[in-house]
């Protein structure tokens, strides 16, 4: 890996592609990743002359580099707890002139419900909050919560974690893919689908075993 000094408009050895962060070295026909992470420009060969393969390797390389940034020591990228991010969110909420006082109160109610249902969240380092953590919380919270309250709470969680992405602490929002609860839908339909699938597979496997013909007994030799 090297610093990305080439690939400028004046350098004929490099040509741009229609894809962001993907360039081609003309003499060899090979593709290179050219990305900027926290102000540092990185150039790396993707070791292929196929644009379709290069796109896949570029995506993997970008995720790897962003993840490295998230995992660095606090002295490198700064440390932020969820409570820190929440404080910034509340400041923005208070300063938002487009929201009515009742709307602001409701947002605050959602943050209170979030922290009550996820007690350890406040002191958690935001870099250590995983997608799995968010899904586990959602599975618990959805059980006895109305669809409106649930959907607004996950929306609030996303907005708070978006602040960590803006600050460069995280690369992705781990709550981004949380599913909304449909009005009148049961918790099983929203977050229990995997359990249903696993049960169906188990039942199908058991039925298949019961229906299999018995193997003939080996004759005595």
Q: How far is CA 7 from the centre of its chain?
A: 31
Q: Are residues 51 and 90 both part of a single domain?
A: no
Contacts with 120 (C-beta within 8 Å, 6 or more apart), sequence order = none
DSSP string, 96-129: -TTS-HHHHHHHHHHHHHHHHHSGGGTTSBGGG-
Q: Are residues 90 and 142 both part of a single domain?
A: yes
Parent domain of 22: 2-71
Q: Are residues 66 and 93 both part of a single domain?
A: no
Question: Sorting pLDDT into bands at 50, 70 and 90, what band is 114?
Answer: very high
The yes-or-no verdict on residue 23 having pLDDT over 70 is: yes
Q: Are residues 151 and 184 both part of a single domain?
A: yes
The yes-or-no verdict on residue 143 having pLDDT over 50 is: yes
| Dihedral in degrees, nearest 10, Cα atoms 91, 159, 165, 191 | 150
Q: Are residues 88 and 164 both part of a single domain?
A: yes
9, part of any domain: yes
In total, how many domains does the chain have? 2
For residues 2-26, average pLDDT: 76
156, part of any domain: yes
pLDDT digits (tens, 9 = 90+) for 169-202: 888 899 999 998 887 544 445 455 444 444 444 4
Tokens of 55: 């796109």
Q: Are residues 124 and 165 both part of a single domain?
A: yes
Residue with tokens 């995997």: 194
- Which of 161-181 are b and which e, b meaning 16 or more Cβ less than 10 Å from the residue's Cβ? bbbbeeebbbbebbbeebeeb
Q: Are residues 101 and 162 both part of a single domain?
A: yes
Q: What is the CATH number of the domain that holds 183?
A: 1.10.150
For residues 64-79, average pLDDT: 59
Q: Which of 48, 71, 94 is the last residue of a domain?
A: 71
Q: Are residues 56 and 86 both part of a single domain?
A: no
More confident site: 219 or 101: 101
210, part of any domain: no
203, part of any domain: no
This prediction has a pTM of 0.55
């Amino acid at each position: 890996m090297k610093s990305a000094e080439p690939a400028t408009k004046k350098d004929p050895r490099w040509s741009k592609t229609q894809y962001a962060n993907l360039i081609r070295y003309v003499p060899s026909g090979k593709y290179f990743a050219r990305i900027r992470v926290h102000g540092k420009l990185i150039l790396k060969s993707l070791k292929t002359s196929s644009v379709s393969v290069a796109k896949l390797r570029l995506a993997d390389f970008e995720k790897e580099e962003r993840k490295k940034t998230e995992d660095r020591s606090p002295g490198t990228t700064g440390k932020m707890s969820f409570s820190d991010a929440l404080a910034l969110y509340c400041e923005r909420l208070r300063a938002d002139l487009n929201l009515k006082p009742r709307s602001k109160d409701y947002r605050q109610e959602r943050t209170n419900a979030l922290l009550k249902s996820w007690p350890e969240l406040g002191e958690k380092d935001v870099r250590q909050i995983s997608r799995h953590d968010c899904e586990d919380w959602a599975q618990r919270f959805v059980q006895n919560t109305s669809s409106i309250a649930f959907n607004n709470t996950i929306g609030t969680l996303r907005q708070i974690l978006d602040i960590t992405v803006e600050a460069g602490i995280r690369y992705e929002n781990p709550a981004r893919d949380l599913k909304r609860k449909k009005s009148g839908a049961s918790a099983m339909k929203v977050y229990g689908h995997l359990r249903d699938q696993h049960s169906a597979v188990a039942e199908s496997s058991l039925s298949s075993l019961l229906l299999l013909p018995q193997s003939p007994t080996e004759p005595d030799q």
